[in-house]
Structure 1
């Protein structure tokens, strides 16, 4: 997976190369000035993001202690956290823009000839800039509207919170402009800007006619334009933003401030605060080596049996996923610890990467799961119920992968690897025990109602940092600062997708297409089972194209009411769509998760593509079982 905007390092190298051994030109001097300006912006911005992340963790933990230990809840904690959270989300999105970490579909752009690729890249930047520029005015209007309302506990203007959106849009626009000037030729930049302006002008001219097309506009703007932006390499968040902005601006009289309001609502739910904190937990897990301790213990217990290292890989992903909540973090923790030994025992790299990718897809419903937290927030489903069900559903998928791994290892020779002594196993168990407590702490605290997903994420981070400091070597202040900044950037990229997808989902709902779709799907021959089959296919495809969260955000508000009409339990339906989406994420040749796994596992995608299909097929069998047997999803409730 690559990104839409060239990295700062690449851009700096281009500028440096131009200046080497030649007199400084006006262009290179201007580029150098832009670089210095950007550097001056980013350092304090990173410090603010790190401070806000630390403040959120401290405030949430203080709230838990005050409520459960002293019985005196702090009434202003939620408001303060909400204020800090929206600023982390938007400033983190700015950092993600600078660090080149916004998710995008790169498959089509990478296959274009260089000349065309550069022109398409210019159009992508122009589209991003058009969205940001078009929304700055409405964002300021939203601040003015919210400023007259004071928060109940802190009694501060509400505009102080939503000012984060306007500030983030302005800063991102400035970064996009700087990158465009540094990385795009003046000719291509002019063509792109004029092209985007002509498109907007033509749509404005035709707006009376477009308004008469009704639901066809959904296909033109919310499907066609979004798909075109995806193919052009526009980051996913901005694809959704461009689509919904064009749809509202050119086919309706709805003011664009509605988009800002929906973005605010999509990012404002306090449940989502657990997303950056679980991202931080994954960083702590990786930095302290707690995940490696778990992997080493499993390898000592079952690594010597037939298909043992495959079992260890899958089991490690299952357990580690119960700590980090992130597929990428899971794979990055497990692969370096296991792959060298698996290669030594004769496992082929493509097979290892195939198992890594599908194992990560399997484990994504193990609590804490960022996707489950977001889904619960968007669809109004109990997160505690999702956590209880997710553990069992992951066991079903784990079983089908274990059976396939055992069948593929049927000719493997046993006895080549000595079984570790009880003393070695005991020592590894002692080292891994504090880390093994964490998944059970998270699951039991949320499942029993002792703490919310947000609160338990804070407890888990502080527990991991304390145990890591005492038993696993600790984390230096410099490393901790870098982790806080990384968490803010990744969370900003995720949360901006949530915001723009929320606006797009609202537009789709308001168009009336949901009613037509509901009527069609509820009358399918075969009833709820046919609807489940359609659901699996839809989320397999969307999982390939959009990654996990955008697919959930777009379709959850549309599909859940239909499932409810058909009598499908909301937890059961949640498990089906999340599992299908995760499988799609790992399906070549489009699934972005597959390429992430190849990069982490250092395998050629062409080789891994052949090896992964048996495992993908096994997962699809597991998803069908979960869909057809509601008991797997609901018996723990």
Structure 2
């Protein structure tokens, strides 16, 4: 079938669509950059006014929350234009070019359909919110609600313009497939309604799973299943979905997401990450397995600050891999260690997965920060022991004490940052949002005055990248919140509680089933959507089973991380291979011992809650 010619869109249509998409993207990027800067300044003003002048700005949090929703929706539109929404590409990558184009058409049309269904409800939502007045600013709620309408409208325009660039046969085939699906749902509606909660298997397992495997962005796969479920089995208006999107994306604790993303980019751009790694390399790089220890230590230091495992790995690996290769380390072992260190560091604060769990379950963020630190260190020690026996490198001379001292002094301002961020939240000095603004200010001052490596020409692209990644993260949280609401309304949560409570072994059986489930979920879904989707359902069950919430959060996050970095489906694994510039097939033969050590260590952590709860107040 690869030899069958595929009709393309007319060149004139493609040219118009490309130019219109380029202009629209530039306008959205400019708006997003302004919003990121405004968000940072407003929150920093609020922190300084409260802590320095003891004069809180009563309007700062409200204005920041309002702009935050605008930033999230505009960022989501940019992510759609830049193809940055989370998606599974493992299956589509092995298909022929013809089927790749057909599935790309499907991955474009599904978001378009979801957005079309949500556009009118978004208008209704604006009207409903216009009767509400914000408490501090006295503005109508529609000012904030318009963010949903405008964001959905921008994404509609992006999807429509991309559709014009696709081959009409590919589009027609996708439309036909979706039309058959819609007709089948319409005809089967009485049966699906009559079978009760068994219909959830079709909508939220088969439909979501099929869409994700075929390359549809995960957030829109969630949205498609939720809309199809509500239209087929209930009379619930879709404005409820828009409301759940807003609710999921607007939690105050999620204000930290774009700020930590920006902070992570600044850590790399100012040379602070390189300074941390250079000190560790001078200190322990000469011992057996030394550079492997440096890689693990570097991931512990920078992990979580950026909000992206790809950013964490990209901050450490390029600094170390050339020297590791020069010393003769096997490239498959290097990438395997890099990928497993990404899974290891999922609970190291300030992890955005921890922040997401706190936002949807109500668990204390400071407790999660305290509970997540030691388990990450335990996994790092386990990986270091394995790496010592597997990464054979050429011996090198010990760095002179003067070199160690010099790299320490150079790296000290950088080393202070992760300690400052984690300590401030853990000790209750500042919230996660507040400490992220403090970290940004600290990073800019140190980068400009101490390291003097920051290129101001990178500032604008960094602001856009911040909005893009934040939009992708927040939109998937919103979509997962809507899907979780539909599952809850169906009575699924009660049924799930009964099933989980009947698992043999009590709380230990519950933990074992949770670990297995989240390893599988992590291999298909990114950590944040999995946590947002299932956290509100499973945490009440954990409480009933007598499992400490912080302990449970740590266990399922680490299980999810193992799945995320496990081949053949784990997206994180392929990201590590891309950053390390190693063929995935080469690393796949080497990674299993590392994943095995992570699983064994996770079972130890699950069996001994003290690792997660021993330092809680």
CA contact (8 A) 1:299 1:312 kept: yes
TM-score, normalization: structure 1? 0.94
CA contact (8 A) 1:326 1:369 kept: no
CA contact (8 A) 1:266 1:498 kept: yes
Pair 1:335 & 2:314 matched: no
CA contact (8 A) 1:331 1:360 kept: yes
> 1:397: which partner in 2?
379
CA contact (8 A) 1:295 1:316 kept: yes
Match of 2:108 among 104, 109, 125: 125
> 1:486: which partner in 2?
465
> 1:367: which partner in 2?
349
Report which stretch shifted further, 253-262 or 511-520: 511-520
CA contact (8 A) 1:323 1:438 kept: no
CA shift, 1:202, in A, is 3.5
Pair 1:346 & 2:328 matched: yes
CA shift, 1:574, in A, is 0.4
Query: Hey, what's the Cα distance between the residues in 1 that align with 2:235 and 2:475?
Result: 25
Pairwise mapping of residues 500-519 of structure 1 onto structure 2 (< 5 A)? Answer: 500-519=479-498
Query: Hey, what's the Cα distance between the residues in 2 that align with 1:50 and 1:193?
Result: 36
CA shift, 1:325, in A, is 4.4
CA contact (8 A) 1:465 1:474 kept: no
Pairwise mapping of residues 124-203 of structure 1 onto structure 2 (< 5 A)? Answer: 124-182=107-165, 184-203=166-185
Cα-to-partner distance string for 1:296-336 (whole Å, 9 max, x where unaligned): 10010101011111111111111121643432111001111
CA shift, 1:594, in A, is 0.1
Cα-to-partner distance string for 1:495-531 (whole Å, 9 max, x where unaligned): 1100000000111111112212211211222111111
CA shift, 1:37, in A, is 1.7
Cα-to-partner distance string for 1:82-102 (whole Å, 9 max, x where unaligned): 111001101001111111111
CA contact (8 A) 1:325 1:367 kept: no
Structure 1: gaps (5+ residues): 1-13, 19-25
Query: Hey, what's the Cα distance between the residues in 1 that align with 2:238 and 2:527?
Result: 27
Query: Hey, what's the Cα distance between the residues in 2 that align with 1:328 and 1:535?
Result: 26
CA RMSD of superposed structures (Å): 1.6
Which segments of structure 1 move beyond 6 Å, counting only runs of 4 or more? none
CA contact (8 A) 2:304 2:352 kept: no
Cα-to-partner distance string for 1:396-451 (whole Å, 9 max, x where unaligned): 11111111112325x766xx311111111111111100000011111111111111
Cα-to-partner distance string for 1:461-513 (whole Å, 9 max, x where unaligned): 11011100111224343311110111001110111100000000111111112
Pairwise mapping of residues 221-232 of structure 1 onto structure 2 (< 5 A)? Answer: 221-232=203-214
Q: SS at 2:589's partner residue?
A: helix
CA contact (8 A) 2:261 2:305 kept: no
Q: SS at 1:589's partner residue?
A: coil
Query: Hey, what's the Cα distance between the residues in 1 that align with 2:304 and 2:279?
Result: 16
Pair 1:42 & 2:53 matched: no
Q: SS at 1:611's partner residue?
A: coil
Structure 2: gaps (5+ residues): 1-5
Cα-to-partner distance string for 1:48-100 (whole Å, 9 max, x where unaligned): 10111011111111111111111111011111001110011010011111111
CA shift, 1:553, in A, is 1.1
Query: Hey, what's the Cα distance between the residues in 2 that align with 1:82 and 1:633?
Result: 32
CA contact (8 A) 1:142 1:257 kept: yes
CA contact (8 A) 2:13 2:164 kept: no
Cα-to-partner distance string for 1:248-282 (whole Å, 9 max, x where unaligned): 01111111111101110000011101111111111
Q: SS at 2:196's partner residue?
A: coil
Report which stretch shifted further, 475-484 or 596-605: 475-484
Query: Hey, what's the Cα distance between the residues in 2 that align with 1:335 and 1:227?
Result: 33
CA contact (8 A) 2:71 2:471 kept: yes
CA gap of 1:191–1:407, structure 2 versus 1, over 3 A, is closer
Query: Hey, what's the Cα distance between the residues in 1 that align with 2:516 and 2:151?
Result: 36
Pairwise mapping of residues 418-429 of structure 1 onto structure 2 (< 5 A)? Answer: 418-429=397-408
Query: Hey, what's the Cα distance between the residues in 2 that align with 1:475 and 1:113?
Result: 43
Query: Hey, what's the Cα distance between the residues in 1 that align with 2:304 and 2:513?
Result: 30
Pair 1:111 & 2:84 matched: no
